[in-house]
Structure 1
Amino acid sequence: MPFYYHMQVLKESSVDLKMANPFRIYQMMMSKHSWKVQILTAGTLVGCSDVVSQQLVERRGFAKHDTKRTIRMTAVGLIYVGPVLGVWYKVLDKIIVGHSKTVAFKKMLLDQFALAPCFLACFLAIASFLGGHSPEEVWLKLKKDYKDTLVSNYYIWPAVQMLNFYFVPLVYRLPLIQIVALMWNTYLSWMANK
């Protein structure tokens, strides 16, 4: 159902939208359309990461901001990051069932050693390809940047994913990770576009 329908339901249920908690609205949308909301959240936050990369890391200034690049990075979040991670987290919950620390540790190991290497390579390749690089240039970029990116990944993500798998319900894992990943995606955007 469309977003405006849910806003009307909120209004009719005597909840004043001006006073409504944005997180409650987000929760309601997640309960009704979790897949769509997760993908939109991922796309939006990857796009925001590119803005942060261009403005704070590269210090381009708004006059020199590459809007097409931000749109490309948002598209990568929408068509790649959101769907892949959304499915991956569901698969992990089916492969490794439970909620103990041991289960979270096993999920983190699979996430970091089965998914992360391939996911990062594909992210860099897709972002570079959409940025207009030839297949040869994409391959050279991967040879140059992939190893450093993967090593950097291992400094950050094992601990974050351990907490994510242990404390966070499945439906909120992707949005939470994308919020934490705001800075990580800033780094990835910079790596993919430098």
Structure 2
Amino acid sequence: MLRKFTVLFTKYPISRGMVVYAILWPSSDLCRQLATSGIQKDKTTPVDLPRLARFSLFGTLWVAPTVFTWVKISSRLIPGSSLRVAAVKAILEQFTYGPFSIISFYFGMNLLEGKSSNEAWHEVENKFLQTWKTGVKFWPVVQTFNFALIPERNRVVFVGLASFIWTAYLSFMEASSS
């Protein structure tokens, strides 16, 4: 069975990131749910399993492929892995992929919750700027390290691990009222 996974991951490199995101995204949301349920007065709040499923689906089928594509594009646009090149890629990401990913997160998760496109867009309008400001403080450091030191074949997985923290933050922001 391990050989089958090795063959799958080698033949389809995107599958590695998809497996990572399928586990890490709902795990991040679960951590956020458990942490915030302890803050609430009603400590019997059950875990929201449909929400975990939405996070898993969104992370697996949307985030992993878009991160995979971004890593490929950025590696072709700006070749190299020196610290300077990595910093340029990380900054470029904050003004291209960063806004795209934040908007698609709020919009996509709201649609998966059954909300209308108007309601989803309202969520984007209310939460985008604060989320992006936080991302600009977090992701350039992570991505500079990623682009400078992590081999390309492991970059999506590394970003997945870093996104565990980021996704817990997104989960908190998405669950908070506008």
On the 8 A contact 1:43/1:81 being kept in 2, the answer is no
Do the aligned partners of residues 58 and 113 (structure 1) sit closer, same or farther apart at CA in structure 2, a change above 3 Å counting? farther
SS at match of 1:64: coil
SS in 2 for 1:123: helix
1:109 counterpart = 2:91: yes
Following superposition of structure 1 onto structure 2, how do residues 86-105 of structure 1 map, counting pairs within 5 Å? 86-105=68-87
Structure 1 pair 5–49 and aligned structure 2 pair: CA distance change class (3 A): closer
Deviation at 1:143, TM superposition (A): 1.5
Q: Which residue, 95, 102, 109 being the options, matches 1:127?
A: 109
Q: Which moved more, 1:136-145 or 1:86-95?
A: 136-145
Equivalent of residue 150 in structure 2, options 147, 153, 168: 168
Listed as ranges, the matches of 1:13-162 within 5 Å are 30-59=9-38, 64-162=46-144
Larger Rg belongs to: 1
Stretches of structure 2 that go unaligned for 5 or more consecutive residues are: none
Instruction: Give deviations 1:29-83, integer Å, cap 9, x for gaps.
Output: 6445422121111121111111111111343768611100000010000111100
- Where does the alignment leave 5 or more consecutive residues of structure 1 unmatched? 8-25
Distance 2:110 2:45 in 1: 23
Size of the alignment, in residue pairs?
Answer: 173
Q: Which amino acid aligns with 2:171?
A: S
Residue identity opposite 1:122 in structure 2: S
CA contact (8 A) 1:121 1:146 kept: yes
Aligned-pair identity in percent equals 25
| Structure 1 match to 2:165 | 183
Please give the alpha-carbon distance, in whole angstroms, between the structure 1 residues aligned to 2:2 and 2:161.
27
TM-score (norm 2): 0.88
TM-score when normalising by structure 1: 0.81
